[in-house]
Structure 1
Amino acid sequence: MPATAAASGTKLRVLVLHGFAQNSYIFKKRTSALQKACRNVVDFVFLNAPIQVKAFPSEANPDPKPPSPSDPEEEQARAWWRQIDDAYIGWDGTARYLQQAFQDHGPFDGVLGFSQGGCLAGILAAALEHPELVPDSPGVFQARPFRFAVSVSGFRPRAPLFDRLMEARIATPMLVIQGREDSIVTPAFTETLVHVCDQVRVAEHDGGHYLPTPAPWRNFLRDFFATFLQDEPGAWRTVPLPMAADDNSDPKL
């Protein structure tokens, strides 16, 4: 598959959604090699989730302080919603935020989301197909469905609020990337999203909870994206998968 854009010079516009307690600055930095590999094919638009949450403990920050609006924006942990039992708290505000983002930065050809953002990628793919079923919707996000969606360590939303939307199923071509050793979003949990997609391809790597970004994976994603610049329906299913030996990546992603 060629690594160049269409002859007209057109590139795809892809919305990027980070995971829970990350932010767009971190995700953009950690996917810089992927962005470079796709520079002739894709313009990525990274959104910063609207809800500030407490950071996860880490070696560098074993006892995170409560979140504060005065924290530097690039250091804030952000989320698309807070989950309490099976309720997604803050979804209504996120829906309004997303509608404005679509107006300001769209329309988008596709979406790539990681973890909670991977769940949101599925929600948005379904929402563009069935806008009348979107809970707490402030209006239609954009007039046409995505041409494709990529969900990395994503899952079907647990909140019953989204049941009608998910039961309508997702027709948009969906690439699901999952880690065989992912203990945060297990392969079984990822399968809950696979089961509501009518056009889906699963790509597995040998690691855990991250987006694999070594050269074989970068090239695979570049070539996957490039198929949507060609007039070859179904070509996205035939892009060769990376070899398992090349799955190593940054586990902190």
Structure 2
Amino acid sequence: MDAINVLALHGYHGSAQILRRQLHPVAAALPATINLTYVDAPSLSRGDFGWWHEGFSGWERTRDWVIDLAARQHFHGVIGFSQGAALAGLLTAVQETAPDPGAEEAGRRLGFGFAVMIGGFTSDAPQHGQLFTRPLTTASLHVTGAADSIVPMRDSLRLADRFADPVVLRHGGGHVIPADREVVGRIVDFVSGQAASRLGASARSGGRGDA
């Protein structure tokens, strides 16, 4: 393995193209060995790229769609913004704790070694209760804005609390992917560090890509 592939998940009513623009400062600063794969949500109605809708309608479809995508394209990590960050948290929980019979296979196919969640929130929906029975051990970075009026900081911190050892990065802005040098640098440092550990593990295993 000579590259790290990261799945990038946009926010509600966003798109792969929009997220590409939003993440450009981060993507431009990442090492060449790290590839971001931007995808559109499987639409539930024409032109609507929400990952799910009221009452988490469409969640199962999205979950299965991402699992199938991960079976075709191996991802080492995931980064999401807003609803995409919430999705990243749910998918991380699926790969660690999903109670259904296909959980082990789903976890193997997802295979996220780390997750970056920007302006994210957690789910209290009954159908997700069994996903959060214990702290998640996947390495995680949670980016949250003090002036975020859409996803308040307290909601992003509740998502961080789902993880055993979360890294929390606070900034003074709102519901945005920050472009200032300090915040971008810390996101890049986290992703680069996770990538380096996985590239090193692959090299030690003989380059099989099973890090």
Relative to the length of structure 2, the TM-score reads 0.84
Q: CA deviation at 1:104?
A: 2.2
1:126, 1:166 within 8 Å by CA — same for their partners in 2?
A: yes
Moved over 4 A (4+): none
Choose 171-180 or 155-164, whichever is displaced more. Answer: 155-164
Indicate which of 109, 115, 133 corresponds to 2:76.
109
Write the deviation string for residues 160-184 of structure 1: whole angstroms up to 9, x where unpaired: 1101101232111111100000011
Write the deviation string for residues 198-237 of structure 1: whole angstroms up to 9, x where unpaired: 01011001010011123333322222112124459xxxxx
- Determine the structure 1 residue equivalent to 2:180: 214
Q: Does 1:36 align with 2:2?
A: no
Find the aligned partners of 2:98 and 2:196 in 1 and give their Cα distance: 28
Q: Does 1:24 align with 2:16?
A: yes
- Determine the structure 2 residue equivalent to 1:89: 57
Equivalent position SS for 2:56: strand
**Gapped regions of structure 2 (runs ≥ 5):** 199-211
Q: Does 1:49 align with 2:7?
A: no
- Determine the structure 2 residue equivalent to 1:179: 145
Q: How many residues align?
A: 198
- Aligned residue runs from structure 1 range 38-187, under 5 A: 38-52=30-44, 69=46, 76-83=47-54, 87-105=55-73, 107-133=74-100, 140=106, 142-143=108-109, 145-187=111-153
Greater per-residue helix proportion: 2
Find the aligned partners of 2:2 and 2:14 in 1 and give their Cα distance: 31
Choose 170-179 or 94-103, whichever is displaced more. Answer: 94-103
1:122, 1:156 within 8 Å by CA — same for their partners in 2?
A: yes
* RMSD value, Cα: 2.4
Taking every aligned residue pair, what percent have the same amino acid on both sides?
A: 27
**Gapped regions of structure 1 (runs ≥ 5):** 1-8, 54-68, 70-75, 233-253
Equivalent position SS for 1:126: helix
Indicate which of 4, 10, 18 corresponds to 2:2.
10
Q: CA deviation at 1:77?
A: 4.0
Find the aligned partners of 2:195 and 2:60 in 1 and give their Cα distance: 34
